């Protein structure tokens, strides 16, 4: 399995422009032969391209310097130098591009084939033929090509998914995504089994689907770097809704209500916008008798908060079909609400 890398630093250099040419024809009756120096070609641009076939920034671990070619120099006989080819660098969809020195965001590539010009090639210089006038028929003036641009970039990948699955380690997130999609995450009974986010496509109805992401390693103190959460909290920002999985098993010694509050506190501390994302709450492991009995008490806790919950067993599959359609309905409702708010905001006064 390829290693998941979601941050990278690269150095890009656009191509310099070719120099203009100083040249004269050698013809009788033409003053000093007449100027015929051609222009230099433009240097190559450096352009980032979003590619849905890439899922990691791993390639940039092995190559971090990208340099476009220089434009050709102008030549005599009014021959212009050829412009250099553009240099295209492919990055995963969801890549945020920042200026490493200032930290400012240059662009956000969220669609396949979306492009971003990060370093423009230098302009080619003009040859002396460009400077001929009626009073100066033998100009010796020409221009050098402009130098290329050097930029240090910070690339950050934020996975794009409709639904982000959150929950404490061993709550059953990986098992859930493996049951409702074709994703095959590593599953074992110890903390931080999942070391990378997992993406899966959930199909339902007549050819409909949505994308889910299992976000690992978020525990208490994650926003400060505890556990693995600070590495992956940013991936939750792209999701439209959150699926909060709580472990009902009494064997873990955990309190689902307390876990719910801790997790939401971590989201809020990392980003106020993240803390406002709509959530669906899922009570997992109801195949265990003690957990099923415990679910009634937990349901009441959430009912008092005005939150409906779904009860499932990711292991046996109980309640998964109902959960999938509930997620789909919730997504549709959320999108319709968002569209209405956008229309309201766009109303001309």
Band the pLDDT of 6: cuts 50, 70, 90. confident
For 252-266, how does the pLDDT look when each residue is reduced to its tens digit (9 = 90+)? 888 999 999 988 888
Q: Is the pLDDT of residue 341 over 50?
A: yes
pLDDT at residue 1, as a whole number: 41
Q: What pLDDT is attached to residue 195?
A: 56
- Cα distances from 185 to residues 173, 192, 198, 324, in angstroms, run 10, 12, 7, 19
Q: Which residues pair with 9 in a beta bridge?
A: 154
State residue 180's pLDDT score: 92
- Left if phi > 0, otherwise alpha if psi is -120 to 50, otherwise beta: which for 253? left
Whether the predicted pLDDT of 74 surpasses 60: yes
Q: Please indicate whether residue 137 or residue 152 has the higher confidence score (pLDDT).
A: 152
SS3 per-residue string spanning 261-284: HHHHHHHHHHCHHHHCCCEEEEEE
**Listed residue (44, 41, 45) closest to 125, CA to CA:** 41
Helix (H) or strand (E) holding 51: strand 46-51
Overall size of the chain counted in residues:
349
Q: In the numeric block, which tokens belong to residue 5?
A: 């890398």
> Is the pLDDT confidence value at 120 over 90?
yes
Instruction: Count CA within 13 A, CB hemisphere, residue 335.
Output: 11
* Dihedral pair phi/psi, residue 325, rounded to 5°: -70, -30
CA–CA separation, 136 and 133 (whole Å): 5
CA angle 174, 178, 182 (to 5 degrees): 140
The torsion of the CA quartet 313, 318, 323, 324, rounded to 10 degrees, works out to: 110
- The number of helix segments (H) and strand segments (E) in the chain equals 7, 14
Q: Tokens for 284? A: 């997992």
> Do 7-157 and 163-345 have matching folds?
no
Q: Where are the domains of the chain?
A: 7-157, 163-345
Cα 279 → chain centroid? 22
Among 264, 273, 283, residue whose Cα is nearest residue 222? 264
Angle, in degrees to the nearest 10, between helices 229-236 and 256-270: 80
* Residue 280 predicted with pLDDT over 50: yes
Q: What is the pLDDT of residues 299-325, one digit of tens each?
A: 999 999 888 899 999 999 999 999 999
The tokens describing 167, both together, are 């929950």
- What's the pLDDT at 192? 47
Q: Which of 58-62, 147-151, 179-183 has the highest mean pLDDT?
A: 147-151
- Token representation of residue 145: 């090509």
- Tens of pLDDT, residue by residue over 32-56, are 568 999 999 999 999 999 998 888 8
Instruction: Tell me which DSSP letter residue 39 carries.
Output: P
Give yes or no for a contact between 96 and 156, defined as CB atoms under 8 angstroms apart. Answer: yes
Contact 139, 132 (CB under 8 A): yes
Rounded CA separation 260/248 (Å): 12
CATH topology for 163-345? Rossmann fold (3.40.50)
CATH H-level superfamily of 7-157: GTP1/OBG domain (2.70.210.12)
Scan for tokens 């290329």, then name that residue. Answer: 148
Angle at which helices 256-270 and 289-304 cross, to 10°: 50
CA neighbor of 150 nearest in space, from 121, 184, 129: 121
pLDDT in tens, 222-272: 445 444 455 667 777 888 899 999 999 888 888 999 999 988 888 888 888
């Amino acid at each position: 399995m390829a290693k998941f890398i979601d941050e990278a630093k690269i150095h890009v250099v656009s191509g310099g422009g070719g120099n203009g040419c100083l040249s004269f024809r050698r013809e009788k009756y033409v003053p000093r032969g007449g100027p015929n120096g051609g222009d230099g070609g433009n240097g190559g641009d450096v352009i980032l391209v979003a590619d849905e076939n890439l899922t990691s920034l791993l390639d940039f671990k092995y190559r971090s310097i990208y340099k476009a070619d220089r434009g050709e120099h102008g030549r005599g006989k009014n021959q212009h130098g050829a412009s250099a080819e553009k240099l295209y660098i492919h990055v995963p969809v969801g890549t945020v591009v920042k200026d490493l020195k200032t930290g400012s965001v240059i662009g956000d590539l969220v669609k396949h084939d979306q492009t971003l010009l990060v370093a423009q090639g230098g302009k080619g210089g003009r040859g002396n033929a460009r400077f001929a006038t009626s009073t100066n028929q033998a100009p010796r003036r020409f221009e050098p090509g402009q130098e290329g641009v050097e930029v240090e970039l910070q690339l950050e990948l934020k996975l794009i998914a409709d639904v982000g699955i959150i929950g404490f380690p061993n709550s059953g997130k990986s098992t859930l995504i493996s049951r409702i999609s074709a994703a095959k995450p590593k599953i074992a009974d110890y903390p931080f089994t999942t070391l990378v986010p997992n993406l899966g496509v959930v199909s339902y109805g007549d050819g409909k689907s949505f994308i889910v992401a299992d976000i690992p390693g978020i525990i208490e103190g994650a926003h400060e770097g505890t556990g693995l959460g600070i590495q992956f909290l940013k991936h939750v920002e792209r999701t439209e809704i959150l699926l909060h999985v709580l472990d009902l098993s009494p064997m873990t010694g955990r309190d689902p209500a307390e876990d719910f509050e801790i997790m939401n506190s971590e989201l809020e501390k990392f980003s106020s916008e993240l803390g406002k994302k709509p959530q669906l709450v899922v009570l997992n492991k109801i195949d265990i008798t003690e957990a099923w009995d415990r679910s009634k008490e937990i349901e009441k806790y959430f009912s008092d908060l005005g939150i409906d919950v779904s009860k499932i067993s990711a292991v046996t599959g109980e309640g998964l079909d109902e959960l999938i359609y509930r997620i789909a309905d919730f997504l549709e409702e959320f999108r319709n609400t968002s569209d209405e708010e956008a229309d309201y905001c766009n109303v001309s006064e």
